[in-house]
C-alpha cells in the first residue's frame, strides 16, 4: 500500500457502466461489460484478472485509443472534469500525454526505432507545454534522472535499440511523466521484463508516485504485484468487475468465489514476488461473443446454484465502497474455509 487511501477526495476518474464491444466475424464480442469504478488522486488502483478478461480494452477505452472495430459506451466517463465520451478528438489528444498518460506492456516495441530517446521525450513537452527546445531538453534530462538513468545527456542522444528492456521501460515512464499527468495507466508494465527488473520498475513507480502525486491504474495478471502496489483493486472476469474494494479488504475478506480461488492459488509467504500468476483455477473462460446468461464464472464455480444461471447477477455492496457480484450473501460467502493470503 504505497500511498494513503484518499477515500474522501473527489475521484479524478469516474467510470460508470462502461462497455467495449468489438465486431468480430462470429458476432459481437463484449470485451468490457458495464464496469464501474473510480480512482482518487494519488491512489494506486489495480485491475487484476486472467489474460483476455478485458484489461487492455479497459485501458485503451480510457485513453480513447480503441481499435476501429471497437465501440465504446458508458453512462458516465469523467476524467478530471472532462467528459471523455463527448470530448472532441482534438481535445482528447490534448489530454493525452499531458493530464493522462499511459505506459505500455512491451518496452521493446513501444518506442519508435528511428528517433532518439531525446527526440521522443521532448516532443511530448513541446506539444503540450509549447516550450522551447532547450527547456524541453532540460526537462527530458531531469526526468531521466528521476527514473534513475545515469548520464542522461548521453542517453538522450541514443536510439531505443541501444538500450536494454529495463532501461527502455524507464524511458517510457520518464516520457509519460514529462508533463506530470494526474493519472497514469500502466498496462502490465513489467510483464515483458526479467523478474529482478520487474521489482526495480515497481519500486520506481512507487517512488515517482510519492514524488509527483499522480494516480496510477496498474493493470496486471499478477496478484503479487497487486499485493505490493494496490490501494484499491478491481478483480475482472470475462469483461466484468466481479469484486472491488480496498486492497486490505479484498485480500483479507474476499467475497467472490473467483477472488477466493485466485487468492488460494497464491503462495502465502512471498508477497511481491512477481512470479505469481493467475489462471490455476480449473476450467475455461466462457466465450465473450454474444450474451452470457447469468454469472460468467458459473462453469468454473464450486458454489454454483440455479440462481446463478438466470438473468444478471446483482452487485452486493459492502462497507467502504467494496462490492462483489455473486448470488451468495456476504455472511455465507465469508463462512467458507479458505487458506487466504494476507497482503
Q: Which residues bind ligand ADP (CB under 6 A)?
A: 22, 24, 29, 31, 49, 51-57, 67, 69, 288
The SS3 assignment for 198 reads helix
What are the backbone dihedrals phi and psi of residue 224, each rounded to the nearest 5 degrees, phi first? -60, -40
CB 12 within 8 A of CB 39: yes
One of 23, 71, 133, 161 touching another protein (CB under 8 A): 161
Site for ligand SF4 in 276-335 (CB under 6 A): 295, 297-298, 301, 303-304, 308, 313, 326-328
d(C-alpha 245, C-alpha 234), whole Å: 7
- 169-192: buried (b, 16+ CB within 10 Å) or exposed (e) per residue? bbbbbbbbbbbebbbbbbbbbbbb
Name the binder of 65 from ligand SF4, another protein, ligand ADP, none, CB < 5-8 A by kind. Answer: another protein
If we measure between CA atoms, which residue out of 269, 286, 268, 266 comes closest to residue 277? 266
Name the binder of 24 from another protein, ligand ADP, Mg ion, none, CB < 5-8 A by kind. Answer: ligand ADP
The nearer residue to ligand ADP, 44 or 56, going by C-beta atoms, is 56
Q: How far is the CB of 261 from Mg ion (least distance, A)?
A: 21
Q: How far is the CB of 235 from Mg ion (least distance, A)?
A: 15
d(C-alpha 71, C-alpha 166), whole Å: 34
What are the backbone dihedrals phi and psi of residue 237, each rounded to the nearest 5 degrees, phi first? -145, 125
If we measure between CA atoms, which residue out of 49, 127, 245 comes closest to residue 254? 245
Name the binder of 117 from another protein, Mg ion, ligand SF4, none, CB < 5-8 A by kind. Answer: none
From the centroid of its chain, how far is CA 29? 21
Counting residues that bind ligand SF4 (by CB under 6 A) gives: 13
Question: Which of these ranges, 25-33, 96-104, 225-233, 268-276, lies near another protein under the rule CB under 8 A?
Answer: 96-104
Site for another protein in 27-86 (CB under 8 A): 63, 65
Q: How far is the CB of 185 from ligand ADP (least distance, A)?
A: 12
Question: Which of these ranges, 51-59, 82-90, 108-116, 157-165, lies near Mg ion under the rule CB under 5 A?
Answer: 51-59
HEC string of 111-143 equals CCCCCCHHHHHHHHHHHHHCCCHHHHHHHHHHH
Q: How far is the CB of 333 from ligand ADP (least distance, A)?
A: 25
Nearest position to Mg ion, beta carbon? 56
If we measure between CA atoms, which residue out of 203, 62, 173, 61 comes closest to residue 107? 173
Give the cell for residue 32. 468490457
**Which residues contact ligand SF4 by CB under 6 A?**
256-257, 295, 297-298, 301, 303-304, 308, 313, 326-328
Amino acid at each position: 500500500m504505497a500511498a494513503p487511501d484518499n477515500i474522501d477526495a473527489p475521484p479524478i476518474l469516474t467510470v460508470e457502466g462502461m462497455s467495449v464491444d468489438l465486431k468480430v466475424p462470429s458476432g459481437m464480442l463484449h470485451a468490457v461489460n458495464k464496469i464501474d469504478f473510480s480512482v482518487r488522486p494519488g491512489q494506486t488502483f489495480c485491475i487484476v484478472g486472467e489474460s483476455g478478461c478485458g484489461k487492455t480494452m479497459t485501458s485503451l477505452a480510457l485513453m480513447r485509443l480503441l481499435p476501429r472495430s471497437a465501440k465504446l459506451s458508458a453512462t458516465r466517463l469523467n476524467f478530471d472534469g472532462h467528459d471523455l465520451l463527448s470530448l472532441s478528438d482534438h481535445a482528447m489528444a490534448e489530454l493525452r500525454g499531458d493530464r493522462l498518460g499511459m505506459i505500455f506492456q512491451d518496452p521493446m516495441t513501444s518506442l519508435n526505432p528511428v528517433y532518439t530517446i531525446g527526440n521522443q521525450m521532448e516532443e511530448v513537452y513541446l506539444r503540450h507545454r509549447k516550450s522551447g527546445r532547450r527547456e524541453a531538453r532540460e526537462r527530458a534530462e531531469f526526468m531521466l534522472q528521476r527514473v534513475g538513468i545515469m548520464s542522461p545527456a548521453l542517453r538522450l542522444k541514443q536510439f531505443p535499440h541501444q538500450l536494454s528492456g529495463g532501461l527502455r521501460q524507464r524511458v517510457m515512464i520518464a516520457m509519460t511523466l514529462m508533463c506530470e499527468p494526474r493519472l497514469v495507466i500502466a498496462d502490465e508494465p513489467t510483464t515483458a521484463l526479467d523478474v529482478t527488473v520487474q521489482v526495480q520498475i515497481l519500486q520506481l513507480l512507487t517512488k515517482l508516485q510519492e514524488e509527483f502525486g499522480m494516480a496510477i491504474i496498474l493493470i496486471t495478471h499478477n496478484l503479487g504485484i497487486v499485493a505490493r502496489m494496490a490501494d484499491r483493486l478491481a478483480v475482472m472476469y470475462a469483461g466484468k468487475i466481479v469484486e472491488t474494494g480496498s486492497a486490505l479488504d479484498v485480500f483479507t475478506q474476499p467475497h467472490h468465489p473467483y477472488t477466493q480461488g485466485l487468492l488460494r492459488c497464491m503462495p502465502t509467504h512471498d508477497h511481491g514476488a512477481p512470479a505469481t500468476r493467475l489462471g490455476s483455477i480449473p476450467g475455461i473462460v466462457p466465450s465473450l461473443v454474444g450474451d452470457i446468461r447469468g454469472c460468467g464464472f458459473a462453469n468454473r464455480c464450486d458454489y454454483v446454484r440455479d440462481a446463478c444461471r438466470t438473468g444478471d447477477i446483482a452487485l452486493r455492496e459492502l462497507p467502504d465502497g467494496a462490492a462483489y457480484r455473486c448470488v451468495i450473501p456476504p455472511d455465507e460467502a465469508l463462512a467458507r474455509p479458505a487458506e487466504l493470503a494476507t497482503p
